[in-house]
């Protein structure tokens, strides 16, 4: 028996106890017909109970309708659906559109913020934005310039707004936010500008600041309790961060928080990871650089840290730890446990006990990973929890002005922010990955406020002696720590996955394909080429009782930097360079939402409650779809909100 | 090579903002070999000093050392460890595939400071132009000005903003190195990727670098 913490389960729990709430988020994410926050649910499973579209009929999928955002930059994240309204966001300038799903997608309102374009100049890797969130009748937008805006979901009116950072010193935002209880929690980007990372909680009612927790610095500013904040079962101790840096480097030491947030209502803990220490030249920052590259568990009411685990002490490769933390309740070697699964940039797939922070599994999820020989799993060892660094690939040991070659993965990681999905039906994680290696040469840099602060030069190329492609889409067993199956992809898979009760897993590719594969076997069941490369995340919802799949196209982001012109491998020897595929041979810029459907009308059970009965004649094509029998039990008319 | 619509627009903007060399040098309309005399006369009008290889022809061709913007990239003399042409504009020197140290330095700095927007090897990205092409069209002083002051292209079709780097020593102490590296890439004088062989770093180069970074 499995114990998946779905939004629905959490909602039931909450209604029963009425202890902790953001009632609205739990309620809305608990309805499978909606998509109320970017991650689908608080547990970040990206799993939907919808099953009208299933592995038998997904081959008949077709485009239902499309919508252009009017912006030609990288489109990350995805739309939300609350009731009959879809909310679509764009990259900078971060426009928001509310579309009436009951009225052919007519635009109900538009929000176009006025942002100083100078912020674009301090965004390291394209002007992406990973999307909106919903809470208490408000749409929450965290803009590139770090303005957090609460919009009335019905009218688009600004209810309040607050500045969470300062672009003049390189602070920007690309991430979504976490609305939880009476607060909304935000992060900050700028690890390549010497920004000091932190998360900040604002009160949902009026945007006033509730608490702020830095990733580095004095205990009081990190909201760390030397006795009660735990690290691998032991108290963290006093001045843990300050003691792990030389001088004041921590003040410009990174540890930014531009990834995803998850939340466990039962434990009242939020989970997220911190980014790279600044600079990329490890020689300029001796020490473990705590708490960069760390999984953090914090009480959402106070921000106080419950436990930390630093995955990559003293980073030497830019392996930010910001990727999503997926919360599941599963059997672990015969015992039901509350787990946290995380696919890190460093190429290791981690499974931890999310209550205690105990490390259970740390295995490579791409066989190409070579910078470490593995993590010390012996609790009695003084190196417990530390990865053993292979000297050949250590940019610290090889030193400044030395080019370390053949390091796998590359700085963009075996996986970047593109989120994985989990299906409680298969107990597998579906992970979009990169299959790229690099050469890395660190050198001395000077810090100037608001200017790039990098300090290394990189060359990236497809993993050698493999299939030649730059990505894989894998299924992962987080208990065994094993790859179940792996689908080679020509380019990095930079799209967030979606798993559904229809036993289908969806993801997008950089060429622009939306793909559907069998959740058990990985067999490709359907693909369709959208107008531009996909770096957005697949979502699903129902409207009028019928299931739809939505995905944003619009190539860009980190992937648009290296892959646009193709990559080269300098180690192939003279004359052999330049042979790898260029993304520009496959796709162009775009900014489009594509929504997919099955032919025919909604299954009778759902349609009856939502819309006039379907024309029987139109049903012939859909006859093979066993939809009626598998209509969602919770099927009801979408709430008008 | 232009990769995207907005990039093409931007490159066009650069050509139009330039001193007109690109338009007059015949890049867009190369007269056919058997062109009528009038056409040749017109072309001669536009390009005052006839050169041994036609400006704007394939700059990667063997023996051509005139860029579409009219610059002669022939290395003339070395000063403080860097090469210059006869007009005192920074350029590069490659002997038997060995690049001078400034080119290597430019490769390194480019891939730390520029590549997150402009892509590897000056090839451009989905949202920033291919600088290996830009340096063939704009002149050295325009290049310096854009690096120092930044550039803005914000309208209905584009949201491109380049920061000003004049106060950033990691860029500004190496701006000439980045420039000559991009010339090397634009003329395809060495293959993409890390230059395989480089000349030693001279004491003069080191002295100037230290003075700039510590100054």
Integer Cα distance of A43 and A262 in angstroms = 5
Task: Please give the pLDDT value at position B58.
Answer: 56
Residue A577 has pLDDT above 90, yes or no: no
Residue A626 has pLDDT above 50, yes or no: no
Contact list in A for residue B154 (CB cut-off 8 A) is 117, 120
Cα-to-chain-centroid distance, residue A58: 25
Instruction: Calculate mean pLDDT across residues A219-246.
Output: 98
Better pLDDT: B46 or B188: B188
A97, containing H or E segment: strand A96-100
A81, containing H or E segment: strand A80-82
CB pairs under 8 A, 24+ apart, for A570-575? A570/A405, A570/A439, A570/A459, A570/A461, A570/B193, A570/B194, A570/B196, A571/A405, A571/A406, A571/A439, A571/A461, A571/A464, A574/B97, A574/B191, A574/B196, A575/B191
**Is residue A602 very low, low, confident or very high in pLDDT (cuts 50, 70, 90)?**
confident
Q: Which residues, in sequence order, are CB contacts of B41 under 8 Å at separation 6+?
A: none
Q: Are A214 and A53 in contact (CB under 8 A)?
A: no
For residue A275, give the 3-state DSSP assignment: coil
Mean pLDDT for chain A?
Answer: 90
Task: Please give the pLDDT value at position B65.
Answer: 87
CB nearest to A574's CB, from B161, B163, B191: B191
Q: Does the annotation count A318 as an active-site position?
A: yes
CB nearest to A127's CB, from B4, B97, B159: B159
Lowest-confidence range among A91-95, B154-158, B168-172?
Answer: B154-158
- pLDDT tens-digit readout, A431-479: 999 999 999 999 999 999 988 899 999 888 899 999 989 999 999 999 9
Two tokens, residue A65: 């309708």
- pLDDT tens-digit readout, A1-35: 445 444 444 444 444 333 344 788 999 999 999 99
Angstrom CA distances, A478 to A332, A352, A419, A502, stand at 9, 10, 15, 22
Beta strands in chain B (DSSP E): 77-79, 82-84, 90-91, 94-95, 98-99, 151-154, 159-162, 197-198
- Half-sphere exposure of residue A273: CA atoms within 13 angstroms, side-chain side: 30
Better pLDDT: A422 or B119: A422
Task: Please give the pLDDT value at position B184.
Answer: 97
Q: Are B160 and B46 in contact (CB under 8 A)?
A: no
Whole-prediction pTM = 0.86
- Half-sphere exposure of residue B172: CA atoms within 13 angstroms, side-chain side: 21
- pLDDT tens-digit readout, A526-543: 999 999 999 999 999 999
What is the ipTM, given to two decimal places?
A: 0.78
Q: Select the residue from B108, B109, B112 to test the A interface by mutation, using most A Cβ atoms within 10 A.
A: B112
Integer Cα distance of A474 and A365 in angstroms = 8
For residue A311, give the 3-state DSSP assignment: coil
Q: Which residues, in sequence order, are CB contacts of B190 under 8 Å at separation 6+?
A: B94, B97, B99, B103, B184, B196
| Nearest chain B alpha carbon to A73 | B127
Instruction: Calculate mean pLDDT across residues A599-612.
Output: 65
Q: A209-247 burial, b if ≥16 CB within 10 A, otherwise e?
A: ebbebbbbbebeebbbeeeebbbbeeebeeebbbebbee
Q: Are A24 and A14 in contact (CB under 8 A)?
A: no
Residue B14 has pLDDT above 80, yes or no: no
Task: Please give the pLDDT value at position A563.
Answer: 67
| Chain A nearest CA to B78, separation (Å) | 24
Residue A591 has pLDDT above 50, yes or no: yes
DSSP for residue A532: B
Instruction: Calculate mean pLDDT across residues B184-209.
Output: 93
Task: Please give the pLDDT value at position B63.
Answer: 67
Q: Which of A318, A320, A503, A601 is catalytic?
A: A318
CB nearest to B4's CB, from A403, A566, A589: A589
* Partner-chain contact B123 A555, CB within 8 Å: no
Contact list in A for residue B164 (CB cut-off 8 A) is 121
Better pLDDT: A638 or B109: B109
What percent of chain A clears pLDDT 90, i.e. is strictly above it?
A: 80
Q: Give strand pairing partners of A295.
A: A273, A309
Instruction: Calculate mean pLDDT across residues B121-147.
Output: 94
CA-nearest of A88, A84, A115 to A101 is: A84
Integer Cα distance of B54 and B40 in angstroms = 12
> Which phi and psi (to 5°) does residue A54 adopt?
-135, 180
Residue A336 has pLDDT above 70, yes or no: yes
Contact list in A for residue B1 (CB cut-off 8 A) is 565
Better pLDDT: A89 or A23: A89
Residue A632 has pLDDT above 60, yes or no: no
- Cβ-count burial of B104 within 10 angstroms (0-12 exposed, 13-18 middle, 19+ buried)? buried
Two tokens, residue A319: 């392996």
**Is residue A284 very low, low, confident or very high in pLDDT (cuts 50, 70, 90)?**
very high
Contact list in B for residue A280 (CB cut-off 8 A) is 112
| Nearest chain A alpha carbon to B153 | A117
Task: Please give the pLDDT value at position A421.
Answer: 98
Contact list in A for residue B196 (CB cut-off 8 A) is 570, 574
Residue A245 has pLDDT above 50, yes or no: yes
Instruction: Calculate mean pLDDT across residues A561-576.
Output: 58
- The 10 Å Cβ neighbour count of residue A142 is 26
Integer Cα distance of B178 and B192 in angstroms = 15
* Partner-chain contact A555 B163, CB within 8 Å: no
| Chain B nearest CA to A308, separation (Å) | 31
Across chain B, which distance is largest between two alpha carbons, in Å?
60
Task: Please give the pLDDT value at position A619.
Answer: 42
**Is residue A585 very low, low, confident or very high in pLDDT (cuts 50, 70, 90)?**
confident
**Is residue B60 very low, low, confident or very high in pLDDT (cuts 50, 70, 90)?**
low
Q: Are A400 and A281 in contact (CB under 8 A)?
A: yes
Contact list in A for residue B163 (CB cut-off 8 A) is 121-122, 451
The reply to whether A569 touches chain B by the CB within 8 Å rule is yes
Instruction: Calculate mean pLDDT across residues B71-82.
Output: 95
Task: Please give the pLDDT value at position A572.
Answer: 52
| Chain A nearest CA to B102, separation (Å) | 15
Mean pLDDT for chain B?
Answer: 77
Residue A576 has pLDDT above 80, yes or no: no
* Partner-chain contact A584 B163, CB within 8 Å: no
Q: Are A455 and A279 in contact (CB under 8 A)?
A: yes
Residue A119 has pLDDT above 50, yes or no: yes
């Amino acid at each position: 028996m499995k114990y998946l913490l779905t939004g629905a389960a959490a909602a039931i729990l909450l209604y029963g106890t009425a202890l902790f709430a953001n009632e609205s988020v739990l309620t809305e994410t608990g309805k499978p017909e909606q998509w109320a926050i970017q991650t689908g649910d608080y547990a970040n499973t990206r799993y939907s109970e919808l099953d009208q579209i299933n592995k038998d009929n997904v081959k008949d999928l077709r485009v239902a309708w499309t919508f252009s955002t009017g912006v030609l930059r990288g489109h990350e994240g995805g739309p939300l659906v609350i009731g009959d309204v879809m909310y679509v966001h764009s990259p900078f300038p971060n426009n928001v559109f509310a579309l009436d799903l009951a009225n052919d997608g007519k635009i109900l309102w538009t929000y176009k913020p006025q942002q100083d374009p100078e912020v674009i100049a301090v965004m390291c890797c394209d002007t992406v934005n990973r999307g909106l969130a919903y809470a208490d009748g408000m749409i929450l937008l965290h803009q590139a310039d770090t303005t957090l805006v609460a919009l009335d979901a019905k009218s688009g009116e600004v209810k309040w707004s607050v500045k969470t950072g300062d672009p003049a010193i390189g602070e920007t935002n690309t991430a979504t936010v976490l609305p939880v209880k009476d607060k909304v929690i935000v992060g900050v980007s700028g690890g390549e500008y010497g920004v000091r990372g932190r998360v900040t909680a604002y009160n949902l009612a009026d945007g006033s600041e509730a608490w702020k927790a830095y990733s580095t610095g004095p205990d009081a500013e990190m909201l760390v309790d030397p006795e009660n904040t735990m690290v691998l079962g032991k108290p963290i101790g006093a001045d843990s961060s300050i003691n792990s840096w030389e001088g004041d480097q921590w003040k410009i030491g990174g540890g930014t928080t531009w990834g995803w947030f998850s939340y466990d209502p039962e434990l009242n803990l939020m989970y997220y990871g911190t980014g790279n220490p600044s600079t990329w030249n490890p020689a300029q920052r001796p020490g473990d650089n705590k708490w960069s590259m760390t999984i953090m568990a914090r009480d959402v009411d106070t921000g106080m840290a419950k436990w930390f685990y630093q995955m990559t002490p003293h980073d030497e490769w830019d392996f930010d730890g910001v990727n999503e933390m997926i919360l599941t309740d599963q059997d672990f070697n015969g015992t039901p446990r509350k787990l946290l699964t995380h696919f890190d940039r460093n190429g290791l797939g981690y499974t931890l006990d999310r209550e205690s922070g105990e490390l259970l599994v740390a295995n490579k999820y791409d066989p190409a990973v070579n910078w470490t020989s593995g993590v010390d799993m012996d609790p009695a060892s003084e190196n417990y929890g530390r990865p053993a660094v292979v000297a050949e690939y250590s940019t610290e040991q090889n030193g400044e002005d030395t080019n370390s070659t053949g390091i796998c993965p590359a700085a963009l990681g075996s996986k970047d922010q593109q989120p994985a999905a989990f299906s409680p039906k298969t107990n597998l994680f579906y992970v979009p990955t990169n299959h790229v290696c690099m050469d890395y040469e660190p050198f001395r840099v000077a810090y100037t406020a608001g200017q790039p602060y990098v300090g290394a030069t990189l060359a990236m190329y497809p993993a050698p002696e493999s299939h030649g492609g730059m990505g894989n889409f894998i299924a992962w067993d987080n208990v065994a720590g094993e790859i179940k199956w792996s689908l080679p992809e020509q380019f990095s898979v930079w799209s967030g996955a979606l798993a559904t009760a229809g036993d289908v897993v969806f993801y997008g590719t950089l060429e622009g394909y939306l793909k559907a594969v069998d959740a058990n076997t990985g067999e490709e069941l359907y693909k369709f080429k959208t107008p531009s490369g996909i770096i957005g995340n697949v979502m699903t919802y129902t409207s009028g009782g019928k299931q739809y799949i939505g995905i944003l196209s619009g190539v860009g982001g980190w992937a648009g930097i290296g892959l646009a012109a193709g990559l080269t491998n300098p180690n192939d020897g003279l004359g052999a360079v330049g042979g790898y595929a260029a993304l520009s041979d496959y796709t162009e810029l775009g900014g489009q939402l594509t929504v997919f459907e099955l032919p025919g009308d909604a299954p009778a059970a759902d349609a009856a409650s939502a819309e006039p009965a379907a024309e029987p004649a139109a049903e012939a094509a859909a006859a093979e779809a066993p939809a009626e029998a598998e209509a969602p039990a919770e099927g009801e008319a979408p709430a008008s909100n | 090579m232009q990769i995207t619509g907005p990039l093409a627009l931007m490159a066009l903007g650069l050509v139009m903002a330039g001193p007109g060399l690109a338009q007059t040098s015949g890049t867009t309309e190369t007269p056919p070999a058997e062109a009528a005399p009038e056409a040749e006369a017109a072309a001669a009008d536009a390009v005052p000093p006839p050169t041994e290889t036609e400006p704007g022809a394939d700059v990667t061709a063997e023996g051509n050392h005139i860029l579409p913007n009219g610059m002669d990239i022939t290395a003339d003399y070395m000063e403080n460890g860097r090469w210059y042409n006869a007009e005192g504009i920074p350029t590069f020197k490659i002997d038997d595939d060995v690049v001078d140290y400034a080119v290597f330095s430019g490769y390194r700095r480019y891939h730390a400071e520029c590549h997150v927007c402009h892509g590897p090897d000056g090839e451009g990205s989905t949202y920033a132009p291919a600088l290996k092409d830009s340096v063939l069209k704009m002149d050295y002083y325009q290049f310096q000005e854009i690096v120092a002051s930044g550039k803005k292209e914000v309208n209905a079709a584009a949201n491109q903003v380049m920061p000003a780097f004049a106060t950033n020593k990691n860029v500004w102490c190496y701006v000439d190195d980045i420039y000559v590296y991009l010339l090397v890439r634009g003329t395809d004088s060495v293959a993409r990727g890390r230059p395989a062989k480089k000349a030693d770093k001279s004491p003069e180069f080191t002295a100037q670098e230290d003075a700039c970074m510590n100054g």
